[in-house]
């Protein structure tokens, strides 16, 4: 039997990260934050001052980067041995990641790195194309979204809590721009897999989203563990 995968795709700020991490913990499964792979590449490129029009050089950096993920109580990412966790969430890293993620050559190089996360007993994979391209045979697929104003509002709150200055209308614009780029690109655009469970989390709590996914798909796995 193949290793089970639960894919959670959707636009930025829909709550995929929190929901995926909690579900992985509940199920005792591994967790893939595919966005952090694109974000790590963005950090590597900015560090090495690579010209973002130079596709050959971008692909070389993508092939050479060594990533380590630690998913204990804290989620830690190391790029070539250096802890880059604190930089991952920066807005310019997210938008650079979205720009380079539109390159088919980059997606090709990063495909296997993502598929290698499929390890027993199971995987929760969070991203834009998890259910459509990276794990098309996944048994459980979710498309999680929310209105752009709610997503911007959540991001605003997160940044404020971290003491980072933010501007709500600027964040809304950035989110809409990123949605457009991630949905309109030709290779592996953000789109809902045909068999996915659609959840609009605009007026839902994280716990309600989690309950909906578990009730639909995964009660058997939870009861097997008890």
CB atoms within 10 A of CB 199: 22
Q: Where are the alpha helices (DSSP H) in the chain?
A: 16-27, 34-47, 55-64, 85-88, 91-100, 104-115, 148-161, 168-184, 206-213, 219-224
Task: Report in angstroms how near the CB of residue 217 gets to ligand DC at its nearest.
Answer: 20
Binder among 30, 118, 150, 178 for ligand DC (CB under 6 A): 178
Strand order in the sheet with 75-79: 67-71, 75-79, 82-83
Residue nearest to ligand DC (CB): 35
Site for ligand DC in 63-102 (CB under 6 A): 94, 97-98, 101
Q: Is 51 helix (H, G, I), strand (E, B) or coil?
A: coil
Q: Is 4 in the site for ligand DC (CB under 6 A)?
A: no
Q: Which of residues 101-160 bind ligand DC (CB under 6 A)?
A: 101, 127-129
How many binding residues for ligand DC (CB under 6 A)?
Answer: 14
- Report the C-alpha gap between 90 and 78 in whole angstroms: 16
Question: If binding is defined by CB under 6 A, does position 12 make contact with ligand DC?
Answer: yes
Q: Supply the minimum distance, in Å, between the C-beta of residue 224 and ligand DC.
A: 29
Q: What are phi and psi of 161, to 5 degrees?
A: -60, -30
Nearer to ligand DC, 12 or 145 (CB): 12
Chain residues binding ligand DC by CB under 6 A are 12, 34-35, 38-39, 94, 97-98, 101, 127-129, 178, 182
């Amino acid at each position: 039997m193949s290793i089970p995968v639960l894919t959670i795709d959707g636009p930025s700020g829909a709550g995929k990260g929190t929901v995926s991490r909690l579900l992985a913990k509940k199920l005792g499964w591994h967790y893939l934050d595919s966005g952090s792979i694109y974000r790590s590449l963005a950090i590597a490129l900015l560090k090495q001052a690579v010209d973002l029009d130079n596709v050959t050089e971008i692909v070389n950096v993508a092939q050479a980067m060594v990533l380590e993920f630690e998913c204990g109580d804290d989620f830690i990412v190391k790029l070539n041995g250096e802890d880059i966790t604190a930089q991952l969430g920066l807005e310019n890293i997210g938008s650079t990641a979205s720009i380079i993620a539109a390159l088919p050559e980059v997606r090709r190089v990063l495909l296997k790195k993502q598929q290698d996360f499929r390890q027993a007993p199971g995987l929760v994979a969070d991203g834009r194309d998890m259910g459509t391209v990276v794990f098309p045979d996944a048994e459980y697929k979710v498309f999680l979204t929310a209105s752009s104003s709610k997503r911007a509002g959540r991001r605003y709150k997160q940044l404020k809590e971290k003491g980072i200055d933010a501007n709500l209308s600027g964040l809304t614009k950035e989110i809409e721009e990123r949605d457009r780029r991630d949905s309109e690109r030709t290779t592996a655009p953000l789109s809902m897999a045909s068999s996915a469970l659609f959840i609009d989390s605009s007026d839902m709590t994280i716990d309600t989203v989690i309950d909906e996914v578990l009730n639909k798909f995964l009660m058997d796995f939870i009861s097997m563990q008890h």
